[in-house]
Each structure stands twice: as C-alpha cells, then as structure tokens.
Amino acid sequence: MYPRTHPGALTKTTRPTLASVLAREQLFSVLDERQHASVLWVWGPPGSGKTTLVASYLESRELDSHWYQLDSGDSDVATFFYFMGLAVTRARGRPSGSPPLYTSEYRRDLGAFSRHYFQSLYASLELPFALVLDNYQEVSPQSAFHSAILDAVAELPPHGCIIVISRSEPPASMVRLRANQAMQMLGWNDLRLLREESDAIVKLWGADIDEAGLGQIYEKTQGWAAGLILMLDQAAATGTTTALPVASAPQLIFDYLAGEVFQKFDHATRQLLLMTAFLPQVTESMAIELTGEPAAGDILARLHRGNYYVSMRSGSTGPVYAYHPLFREFLVTRACETFLDSKGQRLRRRSAALMEAEGMVDDAVDLLNQNQDWMESKRLVLEHATEMLHHGRADTLEYWIDEFPESILEQDPWLQYWRASCRFLTSQRESRLLYEEAFALFASMETEDREGLLLTCAGAMDSIIHELDDFSLLDRWIEDAGRLLSSTEWQSRKSGPTEAEARATVSLFISLVLRQPHHPEIKQWSERARKLCGRLRETMSRMSAQLLVAINLNYTGQFSQAKELVTEMRAMFESPDVPPLALTILKDIEAMYYMLNADRDACLEAVYEGIEIAESSGVDAWTTHLLSNGVGGALGAGDLDTAEELIVKMREGSREIRRLDLCNLHYYSAWLDMLREDYVAAHRELKTALRLATETGCPFYVMLCRTAMAQVLAVLGDERRAASQLRRVHEGAREIDNPLFEFMSLMVYAHSAFEHGRERSALNSLRYALGVGREHGFKHFLWWQPAMMAKLCVRALQAGIEVEYVKDLIRQRNLMPDEPPLEVEEWPWPFQIRAFGRFEILRDGKPMGFFAKLQGKPMELLKALVGFGGDDIQEFKLAESIWPRIDGDYAQRSLTTTLHRLRKNLGIDQVVALRNGRLALDPRFCWLDLRAFEELTRKIDSCLKSAGSSVSMECVNRLRERLLELYRGPFMASEGDDPRYVGLRERLRNKFERCVGELARYFETAGEWELAVDCYIRSLEVDELAEAFYRRLMLCYRELGRQAEAVDVYNTCKRVFNAELNIEPSPETKAVYERVLREL
C-alpha cells in the first residue's frame, strides 16, 4: 500500500498557505450560489488570482477539502491516483482504508476502478467538502485522467463538489456536464478585479498612491491581479509605475514587469531565485545546499510575506515554498541565460540530486533527461523501477525509459527488462519480445549478471503463461531457467534464495506443469516452488504464482495440499486492504478446490463473490477461469441452468478472450451439450476445444479434451477411435503420475467397455480406477457424467469392488441411475423397507430406532403404502383402507394430516411422493423388497426363457441366490389375516414357488442336482408348507443316490403338515416316498 510519508506528495496535496490577501466577498457569494453544482470550473489567464481565490474561499467557509496540484506527470492517471492516495493516508494517519493503488491489473476497466477509488476518497472527507484540482491545464488532452474525473463527478455525494482551477475552459469530454448544469463556470470576466478590489489591494500593501494613481493602475492592469502586484512591487522599488508593454500574452507582460522588479532585488536574493529555479518546491535546507547562502530561509520567508509570487505550504520538517508558475517560467528562462554550458549542467544535476534526496524522483528524472544526463538518469530510473511498478505507474516508467537515446537502450539489458515489465499486463506478446531482447543483452555481457538472467527468464515465462496462447514458446525458457538454477549452492545458502531465484523457480515449475508435465524433475521443482511462493515480496506476483500452483495441486488430485494452500492464502488476506486481483485469485482457487471436491454450493459462492469483486473493481483478468470453475461445479451437480448462465457470461467476455480461455469455453459447452444428450453438438464443440488445446501446446488440456472426446465417440458408436483416445490419455496420465487423470480416463474406458460387452476388461479398469479414487478420496472430475457414474457404481457394487468407497461416492454425489437399481441391495438407499417375513425399516443401512414414535396411523399408512405395492396409489383408496367407517372428506383430511406426520418422522419428505392425487414410495429414496422381488422374478422369467442360448449357469445361479435372499418369508406376515395383505401375500407366495420351481428344474435339467437341492431346502426354510418342493427334493436326493435323506425329507413333510394343518401329505408325495423306499 501507500507509505506513510512522501515528500513529493506534500506540496502536490497541501493547500497553499496565504499571506495577507483580500477576501473577495462578492466572488465568495457567487461561489456559494454556484456550489450546488457538482463541478465549479474556475478558469482564467495566468496570474488572474484563481488559486488565491479558491484557497481563501475554502479558508473563509471552513470547508473540509483535499487539494491537489496537477502537473504534466498526472497525464499518467496512475500518478494522480497514487499521490492523492498518499494525501488520504497522511490525513488519516494510517494506510488502512485508503483508496486502492491503480496497479496494472486495473487498466482493463478504468471506470470501475475510478468509481471505487473516489467512493473511498470521499468517505475520508466530512460533508460538505471540496476536492480541488489546481493547474488542470497541465494534463495532456489525450490522457485517461479526464475520464477518471468524470467518474469522480458521478460518484460525488450530496454536499460534495469538485473545484477545478485551470488556465483554459473544460475539455470537450465535459460538455455533457455543462449541458446538464452539473458544472458552473467562473471565468476571466468574473475573476477580474473590480476597481474597489484593486484599490483595496493597494491599501493592503500599504502603498501611498492618490486617487488619480489608483485609477491609472486599474486602467493599465484591467483587473489582472498579477499585473497589479508587480506594478506595486515596481512602485515600491522605484517610486513610479511604468506603462505595460503592448502585448496580449500574460506571460510576456509578466516577464516584462517581473524583470523590472527582479532587478531591484539584492544580489543574494537574485542568486537564490535563479539557482533554485529548477526546483518545483524549495525548502530552507535545499536552498542552503544549492546556493551556500546561510540566510536562504529568511529570504524565502520574506518573499512569501511580500507576496512576491512565492507560496508556502507546511511540510513535515518546516515550510515548503513554491514559485508561481508564471514567476518560475521567468526564473528558469533567466537561469538558462545566466548559467551557461557546464555551469548550467552542474546546477541542474545538483538540483536533481537534491530532489532525489527529498524523494522528488519524478522531477529529478525529468530534469536529468532535459539535461541529457543519461547515466545519472538511468541510475535513478533503475533504482526506483520496482517501486514505480508496485504503485501502478508503468506508463510513467515506460515514458522515462523511452526518453533514453536508442544507443543506450540497445546496450542496456536492465532498461529493456523494465520496459518489458511495463508492458506485462497490457500486452504480454510485446512484453515477451522485449524480455527476449533483454535476455540476449544479458547473455552477451562479459560478466554474467545471474540476477538479470533469472528475472528475464521468469518474466518471459510469465508473459507466455498469462498470454495463454502458445505454450510451446516455453520450451526454450524451461531449458534456460533450468540451466541457470541447476546449481545447488543457492538452495543451501543460509540467507535463502534471492527474489530472482524464487521468481524463476516458481515460473519454471508452472511452465513445466503447463508444457512439460512429464519432465523427470517436476516433483523436485514442485516442492521448491511450493516453499518459495511465500518468499515473493510483491503481493500480486505471489498470488499469481500460488494460483498456478493451486491449479496443479487440484488437477493432479493433491487435494489435501490444495486445501492447505487455500487456508494459508485466506490467512494472508484477512486485511481489508487486500488488492481486488488478489481476492479474485483467492476466490478462483477456492472455486476450483470446491468444484473438484463436488461442493457445488461452496464453489458457486466463491465464483459469485469473485465476479462481484471483479465487476466492482474492473479487475477481470481471471474472470473467465473463475467462471469455468463455476460451470464445472454446476455441471457436476447436474445444475444445467446455472451452468448455461455462466457459459453465457464466458461468451460475453470472449471479445478479448485468450486461446486457452476459448478452449475452456468450447470444452464446457460440450460438457453441457453432453448432459443434454445433444451428442452431435458436443462432438462439434469438442473438436474445436481439442484443436485449440493442441495449438496452445498444453498436454493437460489435450488430455482433458481427449477424455471427453472418447466418451462422445463411444456414444456415437465409434468405439475404436474412442479406445484410441483413452489409451493415449491413460498412457499420458501414467507418464506424468497424475492419479486424477488416471481415475477419470479409466472410468470412461470402463463405461465404454461395459456398453460394448467387454465385461472382463471393463471390470479390470473399474477395479483399478476405483482403487485410485479411494486412495486419493476423489469425488469428482471434469466431464463428470452422473448417468455414467451411476451405472458404474451399480456394476461396482454388484461385483463387490471398493464397496464402502462406492457407497460414499453415491451418497455424496446423489447418484441414481435412470432406473433405480432395485436388484442392488448394497446401493446406499436413504431408506430400505423389508416386507417379506418380519416388517423392517432401515435408514442408511441401519435399523431405525423410531418405531416407538412411528406407531398408530403413520405406521399404518406406511404399511398400507407397502401393501398396495408402493406405487401409484390413489388417495381415496388409502383413506378408505385406513378409515373404512368414517365420512370420505374426513378420511381425506385425516390422510393429509397423517401423511404430514409420517414425512416428519421419516425426516425426508421426498420418500413419500404425492402427485396428482396419487401416493408412492419414491424409488430414488426408498428401496422396497417387494419392488426388487417383482423385478427379479421378471428377470428370472426372461432368463429361463432364453436359457438354451447364451445364458450362463453362473447368471442363473446368481438369480437363485438373490431370490432366496429377498423372500425371507410371507409378505407382511406380521399383519396376520388382515384382508388388505392376504391377497397380495398369496400371489407373491405363488410367484416365489413358481420361480423356485423353475430355477430348480433348470438345475435338474442341467444335471446340477446339488444346486437344485440347495434351492429346495432354502425355499422350504421360508415356506415349509410348499409340498411340491418336498417331492422334488426327494427326487433330487434319489438322483444323487441319497435315498436315506430323501426318506428324512418325507418324514419332515409329514410332521410339519400334521402340526400345522392336521393333515397327511398328499397321495402324490406318498407315491414318491414309496418309490424311494423300494430302492433302499
């Protein structure tokens, strides 16, 4: 931020201290009347009393104000913002809350910055207030400064105004203010002294002039204040007043009169004035140092008291004097005529040295350049270049450098380096070319300047990285930087690496990530860069580096380290004065981290906060990347509408978009098309994205695009090309040791393999991918396809692959196939209801402990929903079932109340869905064994119908196991003979027995007698009255030659039937038994 003090800022931002001046009450009243306008424009020729009028008015009215004296340096608007910010810091006594520095990142949107800046500036003033801009004419007509002042006007609060003091009328850009009456003018005709004011000034000076003489003076000066004062000086010195020369230019008249008065000063005064003429401001110590005159302070004070065009402001160490611009122009001309050749050069050099010592670097450089003292100017420029860029004054620094002759520029690498640095954020391409020139100059030096070489390498790499256009250009710089940093000496140095070594290391690592992720030493550079990020002194360099390090950590799946980095950066930026670009970068890193960790809400919160910061500040360098993270977070959560909104924002910024940003735009557009099942559009967008990624030369993005392209090609039926793309991605991911890319590519490959019937290959890929995912805790990846992931999770649970990790993934990502996987009981359903055998409810796989609460009507309603099949049940039917003997309307109201109580007890409203007067247990939230049973029996029927073809014994056996697991006993057995359940119970029992019988006979036909035996035994365990199964079991034992066991089966059947039904087995069962006995 701003330093607490800056000598150069003091005179620019301090209101002049007035000697005895005339209070022009008539003009004060005019200013009072016109102060309702936002802008008061006070203009007139030099010496017309503009500054004195405004300063005395503010003093008279005791208005709070900021005074700013403009000069040509303020044509670089960053200079104005910097020195005005210093004034606020000085006024507040602390940097906190000061307006922001206008650093290079703000240049893309000066308006947004200006608005924010002036809001902060005005907050430091008490209403009513005035912002005074003196010497407005000094600013170049082409400067962006004028646009900033329009923003200053727009942000003015009520009872605040801007007073402009100028020698000229407002520029054309401010015509609108005049048309809207937001500006009031006070011109030369207003400023002219009235006769009575002229006479009053004469009396104020103590001059003894009669009425006729007063008339003559007014006639000659025509109300021109400067002319009047000089004539009074002349009269005091000579006793007479000379006629003014015939000339229209005030400067010529002033020079004539000043010359007359100047000659009357004593020699010491004349010498002091001439020798200090090159100083824009003079302190006593500066004057003594320059002139050797011990009484210099007294002379300056006397000149100020005598109104000899010497103003005074209070400085930190005493009075600071400045000559009126007209008077100083006169003095500079005289000084150049007096001190010729080497004397003049020495005087200007000494003046520049004094200005440098006082912190007036801008003025010192300008004077040295005028003096063509290039070596001294170069020293000064190079010493202050870092500070100038930190303060956002790149234009001024580049202007200074451009002033040097080409013969010097062509030979000095440091000047070229700083020239390149000035262009960095406005034109990375020009910046890179200048860094190349600087590097060549450094490399040609006889004595190696290692610091210069390293900083130039870092600058060149950073230019290429931030241009996001052609990363192949990084190859030569990776080689050069690697060579320069290959020495291990600096790594073990007690003082640690230098700034240049730290910058080059970080830039080299990021270059390797983007261009050469397969580099054999990338891990070592990663560790070094991570440690050295914090050593970068400049906030924005550190932030930009950490953003790119975070990108690498996130996109290689190192989430724990990425989280540590986010935590570190948050701690760094707890101050309210953090630059907006730094905050935007922090939000970008947060959004990326949350996106890849599947936290949509946190991701979008970071994105919207970052966009708000960017829009309010105008700093939007990373907005496209920030938006892309938001798109990824939204698409990963299936929020397609939000994703589309963010993509539209990305497109709106595409007029200045960089090639890699454009690649991102097409990639995310393809992802959206894919989720909307517009595969042709997705393919079209991905072709463009892949081309751009290839042209950019970034392997990371090429792999991203190839992975996505593979899935699109697979969906479109081109499995061969899809497999080829995935093979290249997987090989690349293994080569660069990127587990996230391995996980992503293998999941896509497994899905494609399953779709095309390659079960073994698919399962192998799925097993490896999920192992990687579990090890690294992956929850998301770019190009996330919920439908694909849901299918793969079903397959994984069916095969018993990484079951707990898969279940966690399903829960965290809310995965669900289009058709709920009823046959997969391992699926982590929020609720499971088992109605076969004992009625049971499970929440997240565990028995619910709320049965004490869920009694009475809510439990009856839940059981009724199950008893009616769980789907599409009319409300009136349920109401009649539960309240059969009461009025229909009352029953309906009771149902509504009971439904509310049931949902509240379950904790998830969506479990019981109500649509169009029909209730259902939502299959996405509630697994019901009845549904799974019905689905399974359909599969069994289908499977056995085609048993003669391609159905395997393994498949049929799996169906048998699943059937026997599901049917744990009669449906709703605990409800006894309740007529609501009896019919369905019998139908399900018959279906069970039929399926078991068909499966067992399938095994019998196939000669798999043991499987048939197991089938019958386990069926009888849940339904011991299924007499047909006893007969078939006896026959199976007979085929196996185990007649004794067959006899035991008959005896069991007889005992059960006698006990339960009080009957004997049927003749058919007895016949089988007797046949077995004969064979014993």
pLDDT for residue 928: 93
Average pLDDT on 899-919 reads: 89
pLDDT for residue 214: 76
pLDDT at 246 over 50: no
Average pLDDT on 201-209 reads: 71
pLDDT for residue 488: 58
pLDDT for residue 494: 64
Distance CA 875, CA 918 (A): 6
Is the separation of the CB atoms in 392 and 78 below 8 Å?
yes
| Neighbouring-strand partners of residue 134 | 69
Kindly state whether residues 81 and 138 are assigned to the same domain.
Answer: yes
DSSP letter for 186, please. E
pLDDT for residue 491: 59
With cut-offs at 50, 70 and 90, classify the pLDDT of residue 205: low
Residues ≥6 apart with Cβ < 8 Å to 706: 690, 725, 726, 728, 729
With cut-offs at 50, 70 and 90, classify the pLDDT of residue 1079: confident
Report which of 1026, 929, 1060, 1051 is spatially closest to residue 984, judged by C-alpha positions.
929
Kindly state whether residues 16 and 148 are assigned to the same domain.
Answer: yes
pLDDT for residue 4: 44
Tokens standing for residue 694: 């290839």
Tell me which residue range forms the domain holding 566: 539-639
Kindly state whether residues 186 and 200 are assigned to the same domain.
Answer: no
Kindly state whether residues 755 and 866 are assigned to the same domain.
Answer: no
Spell 453-477 as b/e; 16+ CB within 10 A means b: bbbbbbbbbbbbbbbbbbbebbeeb
1010 is a domain residue: yes
354 is a domain residue: no
Q: Which helix (H) or strand (E) holds 846?
A: strand 846-847
Residue 709 identity: M
Report which of 404, 872, 518, 469 is spatially closest to residue 696, judged by C-alpha positions.
469
CB atoms within 10 A of CB 582: 22
Kindly state whether residues 61 and 152 are assigned to the same domain.
Answer: yes
852 is a domain residue: yes
Average pLDDT on 256-271 reads: 77
Spell 360-385 as b/e; 16+ CB within 10 A means b: bbbbbbbbbbebebbebbbebbeebb
User: What CATH number should be reported for the domain holding residue 114?
Assistant: 3.40.50.300
End of a domain among 282, 308, 337? Answer: 337
Distance CA 852, CA 854 (A): 6
What percentage of the chain reaches a pLDDT higher than 90?
Answer: 42
Is the separation of the CB atoms in 616 and 116 below 8 Å?
yes
Average pLDDT value over all residues in the chain: 86
CA 911: distance to chain centroid?
A: 38
Distance CA 275, CA 300 (A): 13
588 is a domain residue: yes
pLDDT for residue 737: 80
pLDDT at 863 over 70: yes
pLDDT at 608 over 60: yes
Kindly state whether residues 740 and 842 are assigned to the same domain.
Answer: no
pLDDT for residue 1060: 87
- Distance separating the N- and C-terminal Cα atoms of the chain: 104
Average pLDDT on 741-757 reads: 90
Distance CA 981, CA 985 (A): 6
56 is a domain residue: yes
Query: Using alpha carbons only, what angle is made at residue 701 by residues 698 and 703, rounded to the nearest 5 degrees?
Result: 110
Kindly state whether residues 15 and 157 are assigned to the same domain.
Answer: yes
Distance CA 796, CA 802 (A): 7
At 461, give phi and psi (nearest 5°).
-65, -45
Choose from 409-418, 937-946, 997-1006 the range with maximum mean pLDDT. 409-418
Q: Burial of 409 by CB count in 10 Å (0-12 exposed, 13-18 middle, 19+ buried)? A: middle
pLDDT at 435 over 60: yes
Kindly state whether residues 147 and 13 are assigned to the same domain.
Answer: yes
At 133, give phi and psi (nearest 5°).
-115, 105
CA distances (Å), origin 425, targets 392, 463, 517, 623, 662: 11, 8, 26, 15, 19
CB atoms within 10 A of CB 679: 17
Lowest mean pLDDT among 414-423, 482-491, 750-759, 844-853: 844-853
Average pLDDT on 452-465 reads: 95
pLDDT for residue 5: 47
Residues ≥6 apart with Cβ < 8 Å to 986: none
CA 829: distance to chain centroid?
A: 37
pLDDT in tens, 85-127: 887 777 665 555 578 788 777 877 888 888 888 988 888 888 8
Kindly state whether residues 806 and 891 are assigned to the same domain.
Answer: no
Distance CA 60, CA 28 (A): 9
Report which of 495, 598, 592 is spatially closest to residue 546, judged by C-alpha positions.
592
Average pLDDT on 21-25 reads: 81
With cut-offs at 50, 70 and 90, classify the pLDDT of residue 326: confident
Distance CA 304, CA 269 (A): 13
Is the separation of the CB atoms in 811 and 828 below 8 Å?
yes
Distance CA 706, CA 728 (A): 8
> What pairing do the DSSP bridges indicate for beta strands 319-323 and 282-283?
antiparallel
pLDDT for residue 252: 59
Kindly state whether residues 973 and 1059 are assigned to the same domain.
Answer: yes
User: What CATH number should be reported for the domain holding residue 892?
Assistant: 1.10.10.10
Is the separation of the CB atoms in 109 and 620 below 8 Å?
yes
Query: Using alpha carbons only, what angle is made at residue 1060 by residues 1059 and 1064, rounded to the nearest 5 degrees?
Result: 70
At 537, give phi and psi (nearest 5°).
-70, -40
Beta strands in 44-147 (DSSP E): 64-69, 129-134
Distance CA 540, CA 438 (A): 23
pLDDT in tens, 773-821: 999 999 998 999 999 999 999 999 999 999 999 999 999 998 999 888 9
743 is a domain residue: yes
Tokens standing for residue 254: 């002033």
715 is a domain residue: no
Label each residue of 502-536 as H, E or C: HHHHHHHHHHHHHHCCCCCCHHHHHHHHHHHHHHC
Spell 266-296 as b/e; 16+ CB within 10 A means b: eeebbbbbbbbbbbbbbbbebbeebbebebb
Report which of 969, 979, 935, 978 is spatially closest to residue 839, judged by C-alpha positions.
969
pLDDT for residue 260: 66
Helix segments in 952-1008, DSSP class H? 953-966, 979-1005
End of a domain among 604, 623, 639? Answer: 639
With cut-offs at 50, 70 and 90, classify the pLDDT of residue 852: very low
Tokens standing for residue 874: 């009319």
End of a domain among 281, 310, 337? Answer: 337
User: What CATH number should be reported for the domain holding residue 632?
Assistant: 1.25.40
Distance CA 100, CA 373 (A): 35
372 is a domain residue: no
pLDDT for residue 120: 85
Residue 546 identity: Q
Lowest mean pLDDT among 310-314, 381-385, 611-615, 1067-1071: 310-314
At 946, give phi and psi (nearest 5°).
-105, 20
What is the length of the chain? Answer: 1080
Peptide bond into 128 cis (omega under 30): yes
Distance CA 830, CA 925 (A): 6
Kindly state whether residues 172 and 241 are assigned to the same domain.
Answer: no
pLDDT for residue 937: 93
Q: How many structural domains comprise the chain?
A: 7
Distance CA 612, CA 987 (A): 63
Average pLDDT on 143-172 reads: 91
Lowest mean pLDDT among 96-100, 128-132, 148-152, 698-702: 96-100
Distance CA 226, CA 244 (A): 12
Average pLDDT on 386-408 reads: 91
pTM of the model: 0.80
Distance CA 578, CA 418 (A): 25
Is the separation of the CB atoms in 743 and 762 below 8 Å?
no
Report which of 123, 113, 37 is spatially closest to residue 81, judged by C-alpha positions.
113
Is the Cα torsion angle 199, 205, 206, 212 positive or negative in sign?
A: negative
Higher-confidence position of 987 and 191: 987
Query: Using alpha carbons only, what angle is made at residue 503 by residues 499 and 508, rounded to the nearest 5 degrees?
Result: 150
DSSP letter for 271, please. H
Average pLDDT on 543-557 reads: 76
Q: Burial of 402 by CB count in 10 Å (0-12 exposed, 13-18 middle, 19+ buried)? A: exposed
Is the separation of the CB atoms in 613 and 583 below 8 Å?
yes
Tokens standing for residue 467: 């241009």
Distance CA 993, CA 1016 (A): 10
Kindly state whether residues 215 and 183 are assigned to the same domain.
Answer: no
DSSP letter for 487, please. -
Report which of 328, 334, 337, 313 is spatially closest to residue 226, judged by C-alpha positions.
328
